[in-house]
A = this chain, B = another copy of it.
Amino acid sequence: MAIRSGELSPVDHVDDVLARLAGDTCNAVVRLLADEARRDAKELAAELQGGGWRGPLHGVAVAVKDLIDVAGVPTGCGSNVLRDAAPATQDAAVVAKLREAGAVVVAKTHTHEFAYGPTGDIAAQGPARNPHDPTRITGGSSSGSAAAVAAGHVPLALGTDTGCSIRTPAALCGVVGFKPTYGRLSTAGVFPLSESCDHIGLLAADVHGVSVGYDVLARNNSADGVGTGGGIQPPGVDGVTVGVPTDDYWRVADPVIADAVERAAARLAEAGAVVSRITMPGIDELAACYRPIVGAEAYTTHEHWLTTRREDYQPITAERLAAAAGQSATEYVAAQRTRRRVTAELRARLSEVDVLLTPTTPLRATPIGAVEAAGLQVRPALLSLTLPFDLTGWPAVSVPVAPSDGGLPVGVQLVGVRMEDRAVLRVAGTLR
């Protein structure tokens, strides 16, 4: 890359990114870390001049969702509840890994309040705006990370995904968003939404970008089967079996989205994949586990504040969190059992499938504040096609496909069934 060759100095790159972020009109940034970033860029430039090179993220700017701790900066979670939060005392584990690899943290980005929503328009800072149409949502909850990447401000951003929160904003903003296998990346230093479903991941303009980031995050990770990092692999799908589910659950009304899935399937087939229509019995039962699990876990975290500081939440957030107040332990335990059972059943049933191909969302970016669109409830619709894989824990990536009407972005989702994180990215690389 240009930085290693000396063509582009980390200082110039970071200055350029900071200037772009300062001029952002999407409400993508909640805190610009200009001084810290310039200082880091200088040090990394000096290191480079001294012959040191930490790898492909050396001197590269990254943005961090404001749910993830960056040392010295408060983590605001998009909420007035944390208006007076003390600065984080240390970097989240994933931030520390990026820094070790030479990345420069340039900004904290907009998040749907406490990551509890798929739209990105509910936050203390007001709505994030879609770079493709500022009257429309980015999707959420990693709203600012998606918008900042989509606007071309920053090459790489960290996000979190509990039901859709990396993949849905990636789809709606036209970038790549990757959620690795559950448990693969540490959630230490990340404000929890649901310990059972929280995933950390990455957004970038293309699959190569998230692959470079993932390679750093998974490095020396004892939870990672690959051990010390498998390195970025070239795209490839030869002999890979791609399952396209045909259940009603996956049907989308928007013909442009349906067409994008077919075109992605055709592209994969051309490249050597075997595309197979499959069904996923139990998918509705699986999806129904989401609310009791995530609702109970989120409520448990927020119970105290909901009692003492309810007025500091955006009203819809407080209402949705409080809806889980009366839930029984049995409902929760039963949902966890169903989730494990259906996951095992699906994995057994799909034993011939390497990756699934689905639409990422049934809607494209809706107007800010819209509750309904095209006859669908926006909130559940934007979660529906992604949340199954937070429940199964399987790796999933949303990849943009050029919309046939030339309009708002569309994303398709690739999900590893028998494939591990890097293999899924390798397949995704065929699309973008």
Cα–Cα distance between A333 and B298 once the two chains are bound (Å): 10
Judging by beta carbons under 8 Å apart, are A297 and B327 in contact? Answer: no
A330, B296: Cβ atoms closer than 8 Å: yes
* Binary interface encoding of chain A residues 305-328 relative to chain B, with 1 for a CB under 8 A from any of its CBs, else 0: 000000000000000000011111
Which of A296, A297, A300, A303 has the most C-beta atoms of chain B within 10 angstroms of its own C-beta?
A300
How many residues of A are in contact with the other chain, CB < 8 A?
20
- Copies of this subunit: 2
Closest to A292 in B: B329
> Any chain B CB within 8 A of the CB of A114?
no
A334 within 8 A of B: yes
Q: Which of A245-301 contact B (CB under 8 A)?
A: 292, 295-297, 299-300
- For residue A332, CB closer than 8 A to chain B, the reply is yes
Q: Judge if A337 is at the interface, Cβ distance under 8 Å.
A: yes
Q: Determine which of B297, B300, B325, B334 lies in contact with A300 in the assembled complex, contact meaning CB atoms within 8 Å.
A: B334
Q: In whole angstroms, what is the CA distance A328 to B292 when docked?
A: 12
A interface, over-half SS: helix
Interface flag for A133 (CB, 8 Å): no
Report yes or no: A297 in contact with B195, Cβ–Cβ below 8 A. Answer: no
Say whether B330 contacts A331, CB under 8 Å: no
Query: How far apart are the CA atoms of A303 and B328 in the complex, in Å?
Result: 12
Q: Considering residues A300, A327, A329, A333, which has the most beta carbons from chain B within 10 angstroms of its beta carbon?
A: A329
Provide the residues of chain B in CB contact with A332, threshold 8 Å.
296, 329, 332-333
What separation, in Å, do the CA atoms of A129 and B327 have in the docked complex? 42
Query: From A324, which residue of chain B is reached at the shortest CB distance?
Result: B329
Binary B-proximity of A329-344 (CB < 8 A = 1, otherwise 0) = 1111110010000000
Q: How far is the CA of A327 from the CA of B333 in the complex (A)?
A: 11
Q: A195-B337, A337-B195 are in contact. Are A303 and B329 (CB under 8 A)?
A: no
Residue of B nearest to A299 (CB): B330
Q: Could you mark each residue 221-251 of chain A with 1 if its beta carbon is under 8 Å from any beta carbon of chain B, else 0?
A: 0000000000000000000000000000000
Query: A137 CA to B282 CA in the complex, in Å?
Result: 46
Residues of B within 8 A of A331 (CB): 329
Mind listing 18 A-B residue pairs with CB under 8 Å?
Answer: A195-B337, A292-B329, A296-B329, A296-B332, A296-B333, A299-B329, A299-B330, A300-B329, A300-B330, A300-B333, A303-B330, A327-B328, A327-B329, A329-B329, A329-B331, A329-B332, A332-B332, A332-B333
Known: A299-B330, A300-B330. 4 other contacts (CB 8 A): A300-B337, A303-B330, A325-B330, A329-B331
